[in-house]
Amino acid sequence: MRGFNKTTVVTQFILVGFSSLGELQLLLFIIFLLLYVTILVANVTIMAVIRFSWTLHTPMYGFLFILSFSESCYTFVIIPQLLVHLLSDTKTISFVACATQLFFFLGFACTNCFLIAMMGYDRYVAICHPLRYTLIMNKRLGLGLISLSGATGFSIALVATNLICDMPFCGPNRVNHYFCDMAPVIKLACTDTHVKELALFSLSILVIMVPFLLILISYGFIVNTILKIPSAEGKRKAFATCASHLTVVFVHYGCASIVYLRPKSKSASDKDQLVAVTYTVVTPLLNPLVYSLRNKEVKAALKRVLGTPVITKTS
């Protein structure tokens, strides 16, 4: 980052978060702690299964491995601090720490959006061009798409963080959220923010709508191909391979759209914190659960890693 605006006089922010809930914060601490541990265990399990099972060394599961890693980092940026603040009367965060949290939160969030879109392209190639799948989705292309997702995601995060930190903050310093997100922080700037809000809104469209539209186009071709399959069993298996990804797509992009693609007049709502819980806690937990519970290959690989006999139709 280039550095903060020299007229900035606020040295720290107060994250209001769930302060109004009083003694219920202890209950929230227990709930969020259990969810956080579950998220880490679930995602690490997915990564371990993919790493140690040679049958899952394909581009599709390579994307899932990186997504699980990114989701783990994504929650690490937010939840530990939230847990500390739920038990503390002092809920402050320095200006620099707030900017750092915002950068890494946006970086991993944007990367996840692009990764999920890449997974959609992978499904398109697998179903629409099955005979050429290994030729098209080779290791080099897979690594390239993953690198592109990360580089683009963190580049956008750097631009967005600079746009926000370049504004003067001279008070008040109470952020109506449980972490440093774009809209709650921008509201505290001591200047006209319309131009920068428009720029940030444009970046949000780029990160959310463009990948989502590409996924819809991919699935348009996928559905068209599946409908041409003569057997009902073939159609069922083809749709089943896409069900896990589609579940994650609609939850992930749906929650992001609710928060970041709404008009300004409707963006400053306490309900945003409830939606934020969904995309900062529920979605990272949803990904490994959906892919492990609905994916026969992952479940079979997990049993092999754990040393549990895998029962097949032939056995």
pLDDT of res. 248: 82
| 85 CB-near residues (< 8 Å, 6+ apart) | 15, 17, 91, 178
* Phi, psi dihedrals of residue 12, rounded to the nearest 5°: -155, 155
Contact 125, 145 (CB under 8 A): no
Q: Are 260 and 41 in contact (CB under 8 A)?
A: no
Q: Which two tokens stand for residue 266?
A: 């409707």
Q: Which amino acid is at 120?
A: G
Structure confidence by residue, pLDDT tens digits, 33-74: 999 999 999 899 888 888 888 878 888 888 989 999 999 999
Please say if the pLDDT value at position 292 is more than 90. no
Answer whether residue 299 shows pLDDT above 80.
no
What pLDDT is recorded for position 294?
62
Residue 131: alpha-carbon gap to chain centroid: 32
Q: Say how far apart CA 222 and CA 243 lie, in whole Å.
A: 12
What is the per-residue pLDDT across 83-101, written as a single tens digit (0 to 9) for each? 999 988 888 999 999 999 9
Confidence of residue 266 (pLDDT cuts 50, 70, 90): very low
pLDDT surpasses 90 at 149 = yes
Which of helix, strand or coil describes residue 304? Answer: helix
Question: Which structure tokens are listed for 11?
Answer: 């040295």
Domain ranges of the chain: 12-306
Is residue 46 within 8 A of residue 64, CB to CB? The reply is: yes
Cβ atoms of 46 and 292 within 8 Å: the answer is yes
Residue 228 is predicted with a pLDDT of 84
End-to-end CA distance of the chain: 59
d(CA 114, CA 211): 6
CATH 1.20.1070.10 fits 12-306, yes or no: yes
Instruction: Assess whether pLDDT exceeds 50 at residue 203.
Output: yes
